[in-house]
Amino acid sequence: MEKKHPSIISKDSPSLNVGFTPSKNFKKLKHRVQMLSLSNVFSKEDLINFEKKILNFLDFKKDYKIEYSVEPKIDGISASLTYKKGKLIYGVSRGDGKEGELITENLKTIKDIPQKISHKEFPDDIEIRGEVFIENHDFKKISNNFANARNAASGSLRQKDPNETKKIPLKFIAYTFGYFQNNNFSKQSEFISYLKKWGFKVSEYNKIISGIDNLIFNHKEFENKRFNIDYDLDGLVYKINDFNLQNRLGFVANAPRWATAHKFSAKSGSSQILNIDIQIGRTGALTPVAKIKPVNIGGVTVSNATLHNEEEILRKDLRVGDYVKIERAGDVIPHVISVDLKKRSQKSKKFLFPSKCPSCGSKVSKDYNFTTKKYDAVRRCSSEGYYCEKMSIEKIKHFISKDAMNIDGLGKKVVENFWDLKIIRYPYDIFDLKYENIEKLEGWGKLSVSNLKYSIEKSKKVSLEKFIFSLGIRHIGQENAKLMADNLKDIKNLLKIDAKYNFQKFLNIDGIGETQVKSLKNFFSNEINVNIIKKLTQQLTISKVENKKTGKFIDKTFLITGKLNGISRAEAKSKIEKQSGKILSSVNKNLNYLITGDKPTIKKINKAKELNIVILEQKDFLKLLD
């Protein structure tokens, strides 16, 4: 019609607009409360350490019995359901934890998910969270189309046509909440009992348990019977049952302090080591990897297994040609457990760890740990910047990863391919790609290139915190990147950092120590790294860190000296930060309050008096906290 009648063409015509590709069918939606991941424990010792940290944070005595809500960890896909006035308004996938995909219509096809709840005690505004999964007997009927039940559930939820999703026998079990207006429940177990009253399915295996030994006994008992359950499980989740204690404990970077997943024992198999390769990570760590004869372990074909480091190879005397036992730790990472010496060839030779980087030829060395007074087990390439090819590739992979720039469509294999074709050498090359040239490459077309361009353009708006993390600076993980961003506030301040910068300033940030400062100095003393940041800032829109608008301690700084009673130092810091206050690590002119407990450092008190800093005893601090 438009060709015959050009006068009817409007600026909103479909012929003038590029439509979204299938992978962009779902709108993104921010979670009102972040969907965090869980820390993992694998042994009794891990579990003891987990509880010890909780008791220390809460300043409880060692013999205090913590009550846990113990729930099976279903190997499925997390989903969030928002109900208002009893009606299901929208459903969202977990995504990156901060935002997910709006998959409401697909979730509505699951019979276990009530679309309307009329129970008189059901909250007016609540977000119910749970797991979408497929039972094993149902998966057998469709197993030819999917690698495993989890993939089947994930793929079904992302069908653009809900009628296709409806054909897959998906199930849903509810286990917690995200946003909850007026939560009057005092315990997790109480909330779960109400989930059942409201019409949700909950796990029949939920329990309340106290004591490490009882948790271990229950874990062993449950692990023995897990294969009789008609859906996949990969562990048990322990949540502190008391919501008041949960609120006090709060969160670390991406996980709650009050919960952990106790994984089941690893699945194992036997194979032969064909070769030992050395892989170089983004921080220069040399990791030996065994190339083994492919073996099926727990339904997954394994052809590589990590050997961890040089010391591990020496301790187990691992050699090429050895027959070894392989385990998938936590049902995920394969590693070599032991060698069958009876099958060892007399011609086998000890493996010699390289003294130079296999990628760039730089010297490799072990760092000295001043805390443990020992050398680290890991050897590292001494190259800085982007001189080492393998390190460079891994740095770019980190740069585009989910927790960093989050560039969909630019996966690890694509990065390697673009590197080989000399399309990418530095992170800033990503934003100067010639899409018309990529379209001509094998395996690429208009649609895939359109997807890639969309993802790259979308990633150009990034927070300062994520940008710092994306740089891949050694010892600067998500938590430290956040601390640095909160301190620097603006990308302009990051651009001021170079070899001449006074890096000791970072020691004023609580949580940044000598190790991080040394690493930052090494990174910013390299011209290539500094140049990369400058070029990236010209290509990206990096948002400032906005000051929190709530809290009585905005622009106020604190330092604690001495032992506090009834509240741990960690909890006191957490309470200050919740009220928008900042923690300093030394007494200086920027400090507002010095909090003193039992046996404070006299030197700090004298310095505070000298600088006219307000000194608070614990009782005064608690009054200030209200």
How confident is the model at residue 603, as a pLDDT? 94
For residue 17, is pLDDT > 60?
no
Q: Which two tokens stand for residue 250?
A: 């709060």
For residue 547, is pLDDT > 50?
yes
How confident is the model at residue 11, as a pLDDT? 64
Q: How confident is the model at residue 495 (pLDDT cuts 50, 70, 90)?
A: very high
CA separation, residue 177 to residues 80, 83, 245, 483 (Å): 8, 11, 16, 28
Please report, for the chain, how many H helices and E strands are present, in that order.
21, 24
For residue 491, is pLDDT > 90?
yes
CA-nearest of 322, 315, 324 to 348 is 322
Cα(555)–Cα(535) distance, rounded to whole angstroms? 32
Q: Which two tokens stand for residue 322?
A: 């050895």
Cα(8)–Cα(67) distance, rounded to whole angstroms? 70
* Pairing verdict, β 67-74 and 207-210: antiparallel
How confident is the model at residue 20, as a pLDDT? 36
Q: What mean pLDDT is predicted for residues 71-96?
A: 94
Q: What mean pLDDT is predicted for residues 148-163?
A: 87
Q: Is 525 exposed, middle or buried (0-12, 13-18, 19+ CB in 10 A)?
A: middle
Q: Cβ distance 410 to 441 under 8 Å?
A: no
Residue found under tokens 């009550």 = 67
* Pairing verdict, β 364-369 and 461-463: unpaired
Cα(603)–Cα(582) distance, rounded to whole angstroms? 21
Length of the chain: 626
DSSP, collapsed to helix, strand or coil, labels residue 337 as strand
Cα(119)–Cα(200) distance, rounded to whole angstroms? 12
For residue 295, is pLDDT > 70?
yes
Burial 225-248 (b: 16+ CB within 10 A, else e): ebeebebbbbbbbbbbbbbebbeb
Q: In what order do the strands lie in the sheet with 170-180?
A: 87-93, 77-84, 125-134, 170-180
How confident is the model at residue 18, as a pLDDT? 45
pLDDT digits (tens, 9 = 90+) for 88-106: 999 999 988 888 999 999 9
What is the DSSP secondary structure assignment for residue 356, as one 8-state letter?
B
For residue 619, is pLDDT > 90?
yes
Angle between helix 389-399 and 412-420 (nearest 10): 140
pLDDT digits (tens, 9 = 90+) for 296-355: 887 678 999 999 999 999 999 999 999 999 988 655 678 899 999 999 999 999 999 999
Cα(200)–Cα(206) distance, rounded to whole angstroms? 14
Q: Is 541 exposed, middle or buried (0-12, 13-18, 19+ CB in 10 A)?
A: exposed
How confident is the model at residue 15, as a pLDDT? 64
CA angle 198, 102, 148 (to 5 degrees): 85
The dihedral region occupied by 410, where left means phi > 0, alpha psi between -120 and 50, and beta the remainder, is beta
How confident is the model at residue 16, as a pLDDT? 60
Handedness of CA 345, 347, 352, 354 (dihedral sign): negative
Q: How confident is the model at residue 132 (pLDDT cuts 50, 70, 90)?
A: very high
For residue 63, is pLDDT > 80?
yes
Q: Which two tokens stand for residue 182?
A: 């007026």
Helix (H) or strand (E) holding 79: strand 77-84
pLDDT digits (tens, 9 = 90+) for 586-612: 899 999 999 999 999 999 999 999 999
Domains of the chain: 28-263 (3.30.470.30), 266-383 (2.40.50.140), 384-459 (1.10.150.20), 463-543 (1.10.150.20), 557-625 (3.40.50.10190)
Q: What pTM did the predictor assign?
A: 0.73
CA separation, residue 261 to residues 19, 159, 184, 479 (Å): 42, 30, 26, 21
Per mean pLDDT, which range of 261-270, 423-432, 493-502 is the poorest?
Answer: 261-270
DSSP, collapsed to helix, strand or coil, labels residue 327 as strand
Cα(607)–Cα(163) distance, rounded to whole angstroms? 71
CA-nearest of 230, 255, 205 to 38 is 255
How confident is the model at residue 19, as a pLDDT? 40
How confident is the model at residue 277, as a pLDDT? 95
CA-nearest of 213, 258, 218 to 236 is 218
Q: Cβ distance 237 to 72 under 8 Å?
A: yes
Q: How confident is the model at residue 23 (pLDDT cuts 50, 70, 90)?
A: very low
How confident is the model at residue 473, as a pLDDT? 95
Helix/strand/coil percent split, the chain, to 5? 35, 25, 40
Per mean pLDDT, which range of 332-336, 375-379, 439-443, 596-600 is the poorest?
Answer: 332-336
CA-nearest of 85, 95, 99, 237 to 175 is 237
For the annotated catalytic residues, the residue numbers are 73
Q: Report the 10 Å Cβ neighbour count for 278.
A: 18
Q: What mean pLDDT is predicted for residues 452-460?
A: 94
How confident is the model at residue 488, as a pLDDT? 93
Q: What mean pLDDT is predicted for residues 469-487?
A: 93
Residues 6+ apart with CB under 8 A from 531: none
Q: What does pLDDT average to over the chain?
A: 91
Handedness of CA 541, 544, 545, 550 (dihedral sign): negative
How confident is the model at residue 89, as a pLDDT? 96
For residue 558, is pLDDT > 60?
yes
Cα(244)–Cα(186) distance, rounded to whole angstroms? 7
For residue 258, is pLDDT > 90?
yes
